[in-house]
Chains A and B, each alone.
Chain A
Amino acid sequence: MGIIRVNRPAADRNAFEAAWGYVTSIAKGMQLTMKIMLKQLLKLEKSETLEWPEQPATYSERFKGKHFLTQREDGQVRCTACFLCATACPAECIFIEAGEHPDHRIEKYPVRFEIDILRCVFCGLCEEACPVDAIRLGPEYVMAGSAGDKWVYTKEYLLARPQLQGGIASIKVENDKHPAINKIASVENNKSVVRH
């Protein structure tokens, strides 16, 4: 890449000369394109183009994509329905209905936890507001769909969708702050396991 200097045709030159100037500059520009194309055809240079979706694209572990709810070690939802994410949410896309948990040590849990993903702006404030590390924005970025799809993610989907691989990245172990990150990183190194 570089800057190609083109002599601007002077005003008093004739039309043919002016047109010739354009032709030569296009040829000069195409020269660079052709050079790179040939290099890549002859495998002299690596192509940066991905054949997505056949070829997976990888993002940083800290990518803020599709939300998920973390689980307790017994698989129950960690969320205590404190409504802090719903309070912090600038798009007001989180709906929670709290209920009394049969286990009185847990006391409060979300009967319904729904995210209207079409309203979400992926700011990550819900993740930041959560006092119990119950909601995270995961690395899933493929969210296209058609009009008939379910755009309101339910608690069950957020907690245990197939892509989470049985909660591979969402089981929160006590006293371990961000095991999900470690797990994703280890999955990344071990290419035999498909990342969720």
Chain B
Amino acid sequence: MSKQVSFTLDGQEVTVPQGWTVMQAARQEKVAIPHFCWHPGLKVAGVCRFCLVHVEGARKLEISCNLVVQPGMVVSTLRDEVKQAHKWALEFHLLNHPLDCPICDQAGECGLQDYYMEVGLYQSQMTRPKVLKPKALDVGSELVLDTERCILCSKCVRFEDEVTKTGALGIFARGDRSIIGTYHGQKITHQYQENLVDICPVGAFTSRRFRFKQRVWFLKEKSSICPGCSTGCAIKVHGKPEMRRYFRVKPEEDQSVNGHWLCDKGRMTLEHLNPEARLMQAARWQAAQQAWEFSPQTAPFIRELAQEIARLAPQDIALLVSAQYTNEEYAEFFDYFVKQRGITQVYQWREPSEARDDFDGLLLRGDHNANTRGLMAALKQVGIKAKIGDQLEKCVAAKPQLVIALSPEISFTAPSLPEQLAQLNSLARVSLWTTHFSASQWTQLWQLLPLRGFAEKIGTVTNYQGKTRVLKEAFPPVASEVLAISQIIAGLHKEL
């Protein structure tokens, strides 16, 4: 353990590791020091001059983000002169800030708005017109940049330099005409663009995907785990449960897994939660009409499946399982089908083209399945020896009479899904359990059973590190007919 240092913060004795700044100590103690340019995941810049605190014996106020804790230091964040300093610093920040709040997506979670209500509430003394700068610039596929709203905190520049190491952004021109921008009209192309939106304390960077979709004060947020790859970043899903709709995904701080960040692919996973992409009702393929027949009643489908299971010998039935479900779901699934029904043909369903050991150096891993380790452990539990790899072709070649398949949930993790489903068409009966559905690409499967998405169920997932974390139920399922695997298995129990 490193050396500890004690000091006084607002009259409280606080002990922190040596080398910590007052800002870090205040964050740990949950003392709110207003700041714009400081971010726990980035280096200290000290440009916003907003996190001023009073230190006994110092000649003037100090910025807490760059003030290393010294033993016996007496720091106050509550004195009137600190409040006054915040007020004046805020007035400088707002000199040229446009009154865009009605059309700005940041409104409601904007540092400027919050601090204005807290310490500002003054009449502007500016008599000159505000400096106008370029607005609504296209700087990347996920980003819209409004240079007028920028307060030049330089967090985005530091993110580009330190985290993604792409260095795409810089501050150009001088004085009140300084603007943030990319070099020579280039665009930001990396996979971590929306982190710039998250760290931007104002509405300079807004997300193209979330832009104008919803005001943030209507959204409720719930913790979840990203199902996009085996990293399993801690995320927060933001949505309106009463609308059964999700609007955005943001990272949640988890130092042992993802730190403060989340890749853009991880944010795309919410598309698989909203009704447009979902299988909302059970469906069967009607060969005569060449169309899907949907039914709000799931029970007859489960009965049909149960009849097939009862009719066929266990060796004629195969299980095809993707690695995107929770440990509990696997345990229940294998316990029922392998242990109780004696089915021995269990195949893994993975993307054949996957580069499993790829890693982009930050978060995104080549193994796009959230729970590969959990699946392998569950297979081992029921005595099936298997290596990680796609076995769909093997399954098709074995020509089972009935395949019970757990489909991959997130479409970008399975680009060959339509081809794989086409391969399955050659089999007599496929009962596909899936969360999502695409009427244009999917045909001819015997039956589809609707499952709950990752934010609608409770369970645990094991990431690439072997860390098992709890996936919580964020919002109620999009439709009442959407089932948990345990409900389907309970239905089969009842029939058989």
Contacts and interface: CB of A to CB of B under 8 A. Distances in A.
Contacts of A131: 101-102
Contacts of B412: none
B135 interface: yes
Interface string B209-224: 0011101011000000
B135 A107 contact: yes
A105 B134 CA distance: 10
A80 B135 CA distance: 16
Interface string A78-121: 00111110010000000000111000110110000000000000
Interface string A11-30: 00000000000000000000
A132 interface: yes
A105 B107 CA distance: 18
B215 A108 contact: no
B136 interface: yes
Contacts of B135: 104-105, 107
A27 B59 CA distance: 95
A164 to B, nearest CB: 24
Contacts of B107: 82
Nearest to A98: B212
B212 A81 contact: yes
A87 B215 contact: yes
B212 A82 contact: no
**Chain A contact residues, majority secondary structure:** loop
**Chain B contact residues, majority secondary structure:** loop
B103 interface: yes
Interface in B102-118: 102-103, 107
A108 B101 contact: no
A105 B212 CA distance: 15
A79 to B, nearest CB: 9
Interface in B215-238: 215, 217-218
Q: Which of B103, B107, B217 has the most CB of A within 10 A?
A: B103
Contacts of A82: 101-103, 107, 215
Contacts of B102: 80, 82, 84, 108, 131-132
Contacts of A80: 102-103
Interface in B64-115: 101-103, 107
Q: Which of B101, B102, B135 has the most CB of A within 10 A?
A: B102
A104 B101 contact: no
A193 B350 CA distance: 74
Contacts of B212: 81, 98-100, 108
A85 to B, nearest CB: 11
Nearest to B103: A108
Nearest to A83: B215
Nearest to A79: B102
Interface in A5-58: none
Nearest to A107: B103
Contacts of B213: 98
A81 B211 CA distance: 12
Contacts of A83: 215, 218
Nearest to A108: B103
A81 B214 CA distance: 10
Q: Which of A81, A83, A131 has the most CB of B within 10 A?
A: A83
Contacts of A81: 103, 212
Interface in B160-197: none
Contacts of B103: 80-82, 107-108
A100 B215 contact: no
A170 B136 CA distance: 29
Nearest to A106: B103
A87 B213 CA distance: 15
Interface of A: 80-84, 87, 98-100, 104-105, 107-108, 131-132
Given A80-B103, A82-B103, A108-B103, 4 more contacts: A87-B215, A104-B135, A104-B136, A108-B102
30 contacts: A80-B102, A80-B103, A81-B103, A81-B212, A82-B101, A82-B102, A82-B103, A82-B107, A82-B215, A83-B215, A83-B218, A84-B102, A87-B215, A87-B217, A87-B218, A98-B212, A98-B213, A100-B211, A100-B212, A104-B135, A104-B136, A105-B135, A107-B103, A107-B135, A107-B136, A108-B102, A108-B103, A108-B212, A131-B101, A131-B102
Those 4 A-B pairs whose CB atoms lie nearest each other, nearest first: A82-B102, A98-B212, A108-B103, A83-B215
